[in-house]
Amino acid sequence: APGVFQLASLLVELDSCDEVSQLLCADALYQLGRGEEAHRLLLLALSRNPHRAPVLARLALLQLKKGFVCDGNQLDSLVIRTGDTSCLLPIMDIFKDEDRKVMQSHCHGQALAILKSQQED
C-alpha cells in the first residue's frame, strides 16, 4: 500500500482531475489506515462528478465504518440510483475483512427491509 500510495499521489499531482488516480490514492490511504484523508479525497472527486458510483460506494463504506449508518444508507441508495452497481464487487476486494463484513451485513439488512416492505404493500 505505501508504494501504491506514492505512485497514485504522483499521478494525482500530474493530473488532479484524473478520477482513477484519485480512487487509487484513496484506496491506498484506506489500506494504510488513513481513512480521514481517503474521505477528503473522495469528497473532492465527488464534487467534480456527484453521480459516480465507485466514489459513492467507497464513501458509504467509510461512513458505515465510522458508525454513520444513516449517511451510509443515503450513499448506498445513490449508488443504486445511478444504476451502476457493477463497481461493488471489485471494491469489496479492496475492503479489509472486517469492513467487508460490515458492508455485507448492512447491504443484506437493507435488502431484507426492502423485501419486507414490498411484501407488506
Task: Spell out the domains of the chain, with CATH numbers in brackets.
Answer: 1-95 (1.25.40.10)
Write down the number of H helices and E strands in the chain: 7, 0
CA dihedral 71, 73, 78, 84 (to 10 degrees): 130
pLDDT of residue 40: 92
Per-residue pLDDT of the chain (121 residues; tens, 9 = 90+): 778 888 888 888 888 788 888 888 999 999 999 989 999 999 988 888 888 889 998 998 899 888 888 888 888 888 888 888 888 888 888 888 888 888 888 778 877 887 888 888 6
pTM above 0.75, yes or no: yes
Contact 51, 82 (CB under 8 A): yes
C-alpha 121/C-alpha 85 separation (Å) is 26
DSSP-H helix ranges across 32-87: 35-48, 53-66, 69-82
